[in-house]
Amino acid sequence: MDFIEPLPISDGHDSILVVVDRFSKQGIFIPTHVTCTAEQLAGHFVTHVFSKHGVPNHVTCDRGSEFISRFFRSLGEALDMRIHFTSGYHPEADGQTERVNQTLEQFLRTYVNYQQDNWNSLLPLAEFAYNNAPHATTGVSPFYANKGYNPAISVHPERDIASARARDYVTDLEELHQSLRENIANSSETIPSSG
């Protein structure tokens, strides 16, 4: 678990909390703020992790104040969740999350607008694309590792769509999906993997 920060403000957010499941390699990308407190971090966990996936047995994070706070450590104890802090000298010890951060940052640099203020709206697509691409370590997509199947992502711009805006949106979405598949495949080839 790590933050990508600071970022240009997008829909009131200036930071992304990245959570990665060690088993399935699933990534969860949560828009937040640089000033995120331990209580707000716990709220993000309840909303985006616990409610959908249950309480993790183990969490690896850096020594940011929101992670080392008494509140967050007490929450970990209460939920029987072990919290492992990376060394201050070796924050890259959570290499899995660092690699996901690199992939997400590459995606955002590729698709963000000139003002760089629309990254928040791109997060769901980035999360979907990341979780639907085969992972070098597991050989299957994180989505498949969790659900046992890959989601359908059929987009048909060639169909007769009455609305020009809808047709353009579908065409753009198909081009984006194709580009994402290529970027993720290239990223998987160039970034070394570790379990």
CA–CA dist 21, 27 (Å, integer):
7
Q: Is residue 152 part of a domain?
A: yes
Residue 83 is predicted with a pLDDT of 80
From residue 10, alpha-carbon distances to 2, 6, 31, 119 in Å are: 19, 11, 9, 6
Contacts of 169 (CB under 8 A, 6+ apart): none
Q: Give 16-67 pLDDT, tens digit per residue.
A: 999 999 889 999 999 999 998 888 888 898 899 888 888 888 788 776 767 7
Residue 85 located in a structural domain: yes
DSSP 50-61: IHHH---SEEEE
Q: Give pLDDT, residue 66.
A: 72
Task: Tell me which long-range contacts 51-59 makes (C-beta under 8 A, separation of at least 24).
Answer: 53/21, 55/79, 55/80, 55/81, 56/21, 56/81, 57/81, 57/82, 58/22, 58/82, 58/83, 58/84, 59/1, 59/83, 59/84
Name residue 114's amino acid. Answer: Y
Q: Is residue 138 helix, strand or coil?
A: coil
Look at residue 6 in the predicted model and tell me its pLDDT: 94
Would you give the distance in Å from CA 2 to the centre of its chain? Answer: 10
The total domain count for the chain is: 1
pLDDT number for residue 4:
93
The answer to whether residue 142 is domain-embedded is yes
Predicted confidence (pLDDT) at residue 192 exceeds the cutoff of 60: no
pLDDT digits (tens, 9 = 90+) for 102-138: 999 999 998 889 999 999 999 998 999 999 999 888 9
Each residue of 77-86: pLDDT tens digit? 888 888 877 7
Residue type, 88: G
- pLDDT at residue number 126: 92
Helices and strands: H and E segment counts in the chain? 8, 5
The pLDDT of residue 195: 42
Domain for residue 101, yes or no?
yes
pLDDT for 155 equals 55
Q: Provide the CATH number for the domain around residue 87.
A: 3.30.420.10
Instruction: Answer whether residue 191 shows pLDDT above 50.
Output: no
Parent domain of 32: 2-190
pLDDT tens digits for range 139-188: 999 999 988 988 877 655 555 666 777 777 777 777 877 887 787 777 66
195 domain residue, yes or no: no
User: Domain for residue 181, yes or no?
Assistant: yes
